[in-house]
Amino acid sequence: MKNTEEKIKYYCAFSYLFINPLFKAKLFEYFDYDIKRAFQSDKKDLDRIKECYNISIPKDFLSKKGSLNIEQCYREAFLDKEVKIITYEDNLYPQLLKQIPDFPLSLYYKGNLDNIDYNFNLSIVGSRKASNTARIALDGLISDFKNSNITIVSGLAYGIDTQAHKSAIENNLKTIAVVGSGLDIIYPKQNKDLFDKIKEDSGAILSEYPLKTKPLAQNFPQRNRIVVGLSKGVLVAEAQIKSGAMISANLTLDYNRELMCIPGNILNPNTQGIYYLIKNGAGIVTNSKDLLNQMDWDIILNKEENRQLNLSDFQKKILDIISVEPKTFDEIILTAKADIAKTMVTLTELELKNLIKQHSNKYYKI
């Protein structure tokens, strides 16, 4: 096919077929990655594909396909002028995604995918009901990568996803959000500002779904395969045994990617999945160096190597108090047995030296 626009029309039409992504990928592969031939397949073709790949054929595939108006699909896909598309044939299409068996034929996106080195993508998944401890640990980990070429990939959901994207932005890292709806529907609504920030100057929002696609429950397991597929490594930060994060962890192993976990409080139900994965061979990440070793990345960390130099004894004491785990101001006062005003001034001084930071206006941490 010579006409690139014609190809895009067929890619758009495929995005309106809400069927098994593995079947779509195998259909495309069977026709030597010719999108038009794949779309024009008939019953005889499907019989051969079933035999060739030992894969089930969606019963309503032909009827769904036959009901689509290709020109209308193309028009509706770009009613929002901010929406762009990358297809399997484009240079911008991530090579890592081509390595998974159920790769998306195309992806709609808002934002900017230029200057992203997919060899340094890190996908982060975890609980929607993340504990403060997990959020703080993840934020501290990501802050060590400040100004590097690492890109943080996640799903824009509540909890760990939101923290991952926010920490990436705060530390001048690129971030990619993969969503389970059309790009005109922001879900959850509370993340609109985060959605806009990523789109405007921090990376891109991706979706394999066309505009007006609602965030239905069945979309998210399919979304998860893209989150995992975009990176060589996946970091799990809190996960119950039965959760979307565990689905992503299993996909990580299926795709032969590096699986890593942040350990947490064993009394927290959200760590049950974490310790299950660790017992079964997942890498343990307690600091940024652990992650770099797991991924075999050579990146200079954003750490103060001589953080104790030129500090007063009281400043060192405060650092020691919060070095083990984050603490509130009241907890610091109680532990230090110090004057409130003096402690407040010291915390401010340490923040100005970039030796500590305040999380959610409550916890102080290294």
Of 227, 251, 254, 68, the residue nearest 155 (C-alpha)? 227
Phi-psi category of 326—alpha, beta or left, where left has phi over 0 and alpha has psi -120 to 50? beta
CB atoms < 10 A from the CB of 56, how many?
A: 10
201, HSE (Cβ side, Cα atoms, 13 Å): 5
- Does residue 326 have a cis peptide bond before it, meaning omega lies within 30 degrees of 0? no
Tell me the pTM.
0.85
Could you list the pLDDT tens digit for every one of the 366 residues in the chain?
Answer: 444 899 999 999 999 999 999 999 999 999 999 999 999 999 999 999 999 999 999 999 999 999 999 999 999 999 999 999 999 999 999 999 999 999 999 999 999 999 899 999 999 999 999 988 898 889 989 999 999 999 999 999 999 999 999 999 999 999 999 999 999 999 999 999 999 999 999 999 999 999 999 999 999 999 999 999 999 999 999 999 999 999 999 999 999 999 999 998 888 999 999 999 999 999 999 989 999 999 999 988 765 444 444 678 898 888 888 877 788 999 999 998 888 989 988 888 887 777 788 877 778 887
